Structure 1
Amino acid sequence: MAERRPNPIFTIAPDVNNETLLVHACETLASASVMASELAFILEGPKCNLALGIQQMISLAELSVNRVLDHVDPQ
């Protein structure tokens, strides 16, 4: 297998802390959830169900990130 090298155009600064990364991930997932939900209302039938399934997966990932964020920075 070829060595995997990330494209440097999309590199996260090495000094960004975990809390900041988690907050950004949570905000990105929340935005993706809204987009998938809006798309589902435009679609019909199986395509609507697919968009709702994607939205559900995004929501589950968002819950996981929020749980980790709670452990990093308990309120």
Structure 2
Amino acid sequence: MADTITFRPDEDAARALATLTRDGTSVSTAVRTALIEAARERARQALRAEAESLAADEQDRAEAAQVLRDMESLRAW
């Protein structure tokens, strides 16, 4: 069984919760869904930042290009 979590929403969070439950969605479902979506978005942002960092790394790009050239010579005709 899952842990019970209690929180005290501020005005912004209370408004957001009201919006998310207006269609009859339970508070538990709305909070659970929002947490999962927030975690996924944070993971996407971290991955995007890492990709941008690698794309800007000239040394890494040069090394990747060299690996591709090396692999091309091994390719079967």
- Give me the TM-score of the superposition, normalised by structure 1: 0.40
Q: Kindly indicate whether structure 1 or structure 2 has the higher relative contact order, using CA contacts under 8 Å at least 6 residues apart.
A: 1
- Give me the TM-score of the superposition, normalised by structure 2: 0.39
